[in-house]
Amino acid sequence: MKALISILIFLTTTLVATAQNANDILKKMDEVLYAPKDMTAKTKIIITDKNGNEKTREAVMKQKGTDMRLFRFTAPASQAGIATLSLPNDVMYLYLPSYAKERRISSSVKSQKFAGTDFSYDDMEAKSYEDKYTAKLLKTEGDVYVLEMKPRSPKSQYSKLISKINKENYYPVYTEYYDKGNNKIKIATYVFEKIGNYWNPKEVTMTDLKKKHKTTMITYDVKYDTGLSDEDFSVRKLKQ
């Protein structure tokens, strides 16, 4: 009987410790990814189809905290000027220069592909992982932790994510995305570089396994902590 109690205590302690570790890792990853108060950057998006044909999009991006982002396309000409503003509580606006006004967009757009890329609006969302997912530590291997992350929201297009997190610096290096049928549908790989005190995801590649299609997002001219205010993430700025 004592042995059984000991095993139960051991198992419970281990499970709690594992869950806590996983959530701690997730929290630390958020702290690394969202450490800067704000960020301004240029982005080059290269979309490659299964035949190797490439298309390029360019944009400028501003971000503050974990839930404010302004993304404005600068190329190609057919998309230049189109901008999206993401605010807390799934409030999103789209600005199309030809309509001369902003348009509130429904949060169902989050499951859609972002501007023809392999990223969905959901993937592009600047929201902390801890807020979006519950985590379980599957294992540690080499210099990474392997986490299973399940969406907190039932509306998510994914059933789970399996992510490899760098043990030393807590940035993600690899993520698998699973659909509601538990099929692996996308893979993301990351290349981080250190700019000042912060780790910057200078290159993120998302591959759609079914379509054999990939998108590489390269971030450059990155500036951190320039003092962006909430006003910089307003409809006023979106229309400018």
Partner 1 sequence: MKTTSISLLSSFFLFLATAFISAQEEETKIKFSGELKTDQRFLYQSPNSWAWNENRLTFRLSKKFRNDKGKFHTEVWLRNIGLPEITTSSDLYNKGIVDPYNLEIREAYVQLYGFLSKNLDIKIGRQRIAWGTADLINPTDNLNPYDLEDVLDFGRHRGSDAISFDYYFTPSFSLHGTYIPIFQPANMPVGVFADALSPEIVLPPPYHLENLNDNIDMPKYTLGESSTAGIKLKGFAAGIDLSLSYVWGRDGFPTPSYNTISPGDNPGGLNLDIQSTYFRQSIFGFDMATSIAGVGLWAEAAGFLPEKEQVMTTDMTPMFPGSPVPVTRDSIVLKKEMFFKYVIGADYNFANGMYLNVQFLHGFVNERGRENLNDYFFIQYEKRFFDDRLKTEPLQGAFIVSDWNNVKDNYALIYSPEISFMATDNAEITISSAIFAGKGNNPFAKFADYDMFLFGFKYSF
d(CA 15, CA 7): 12
Helix %, strand %, coil % for the chain, to 5?
25, 50, 30
* Least separation in angstroms between CB 194 and partner 1: 29
Decide whether 197 or 240 has the Cβ nearer to partner 1: 240
Q: Per-residue string for binding with partner 1, 86-125, x by CB under 8 A?
A: ---xxxx------xxx-xxxxxxx-xxx-xx---------
- Collapsing DSSP to helix, strand or coil, 213 comes out as strand
* Least separation in angstroms between CB 125 and partner 1: 14
Is the separation of the CB atoms in 133 and 116 below 8 Å? no
* Least separation in angstroms between CB 138 and partner 1: 27
d(CA 57, CA 217): 9
Q: For partner 1, which stretch binds (CB under 8 A), given 12-20, 29-37, 83-91, 182-190?
A: 83-91
238 binds partner 1 (CB under 8 A): no
In this structure, the chain runs to a length of 240
Of 1, 4, 78, 197, the residue at the interface with partner 1 (CB under 8 A) is 78
Instruction: Provide CB contacts within 8 A for 166, sequence distance 6+.
Output: 143, 144, 172, 173, 192
Question: Which positions lie near partner 1, rule CB under 8 A?
Answer: 47, 49, 55-56, 76-78, 80, 89-92, 99-101, 103-109, 111-113, 115-116, 155, 157, 211, 213, 230-231, 233-236, 240
